[in-house]
Chain A
Amino acid sequence: MEFLNFVLIFAAGYLVVRRPEREALAFGLAVTSTLLMVLLFLIGTRTSLLPGLNY
Chain B
Amino acid sequence: MKREPFFVLLAWAVLLLSVVVLGSAVFVLGFGYGDSPCVLCWAQRTGMTLVALMGVFVLRCGARPRYLGWSVLLAAWGLYMGVRHSAGHVVRDVGQGFSVVLFGAHTYVWSVFVFWMCVILMGVLLLLLPESVRTRALRPLRPLDRVAMWAFLVVVAGNIVQAFASTGPPPYMGQSDPVRFSFKPRYWVWSTEEWAPAPISRRGRWAIERPSLDGLATNPAEAPITTTGTLDVSRRLEVRLPTADSVTDLVYDPASDRFAVTTAHGVYILDGTLERVLRHTVVDPGFSVDMDEFAGAAFLDPHTVLALARNKSYVVLREAERADPVKNYRFFLESFEAFDEVARSRFATVRSKLMYVMSVAYEPDTQSLYTVTVPNQQVHQLVVSRVDRRDMTLSEEFLPVLAQGSAVSLRPGKRSLNELYVTGATAADGRLYAISAAYGLLLTIDLASHALVAAYAVPGADRPTGLALKGEALYIVDEGGAVSVVARPDAGR
Contact = CB atoms under 8 A, between A and B. Distances in A.
Interface of A: 1-7, 9-10, 12-14, 16-17, 20, 23, 26-27, 30-31, 33-34, 37-38, 40-41, 43-55
A37 B39 CA distance: 10
Contacts of B167: 1-3
A31 B77 CA distance: 13
A54 B73 CA distance: 27
A33 B167 CA distance: 16
Contacts of A16: 56-57, 60-61
A2 B83 CA distance: 21
B394 interface: no
A44 to B, nearest CB: 4
A15 B285 CA distance: 61
B31 interface: no
Contacts of A52: 87-88, 203-206
Interface of B: 39-40, 42-44, 46-47, 49-50, 53-54, 56-57, 60-61, 66-67, 70, 73-74, 77, 81, 83-84, 86-88, 91, 138, 149-150, 152-153, 156-157, 159-160, 163-164, 166-174, 176, 194-195, 198-206
A49 to B, nearest CB: 5
B163 A53 contact: no
Nearest to B150: A17
Contacts, number: 150
Secondary structure class of chain B's binding surface, majority of residues: helix
A1 B277 CA distance: 69
A4 B73 CA distance: 21
A40 B45 CA distance: 12
A12 B44 CA distance: 18
Contact of B83 (A27, A33, A34, A51): A51
A26 B60 CA distance: 12
Contacts of A41: 39-40, 43-44, 81
Contacts of B70: 30-31, 34
A44 B39 CA distance: 6
B43 A44 contact: yes
B204 A48 contact: yes
A9 B149 contact: no
Given A17-B153, A52-B204, A7 B43 contact: no
A9 B22 CA distance: 13
9 contacts: A2-B42, A2-B43, A6-B160, A16-B60, A17-B56, A34-B70, A34-B74, A52-B205, A54-B206
A46 B200 contact: yes
Contacts of A13: 53, 56, 149, 152-153, 156
Given A9-B49, A34-B70, A3 B163 contact: yes
Given A3-B167, A33-B50, A9 B156 contact: yes
A1 B170 contact: yes
Contacts of B40: 41, 44-45
B313 to A, nearest CB: 12
Nearest to A12: B53
A51 B206 CA distance: 10
Contacts of B74: 34
B91 A1 contact: no
A30 B53 contact: yes
Given A16-B60, A52-B204, A44 B87 contact: no
Nearest first, the 3 A-B pairs at minimum CB distance are A48-B204, A51-B87, A41-B43
A3 B198 contact: no
Contacts of A40: 39, 42-43, 46, 173-174
B174 A34 contact: no
Contacts of B53: 9, 12-13, 30
Given A44-B40, A48-B206, A51-B83, A30 B138 contact: no
B46 A5 contact: yes
B39 A47 contact: no
Contacts of A17: 56, 60, 149-150, 153
B159 A6 contact: yes
B375 to A, nearest CB: 18
A26 B47 CA distance: 16
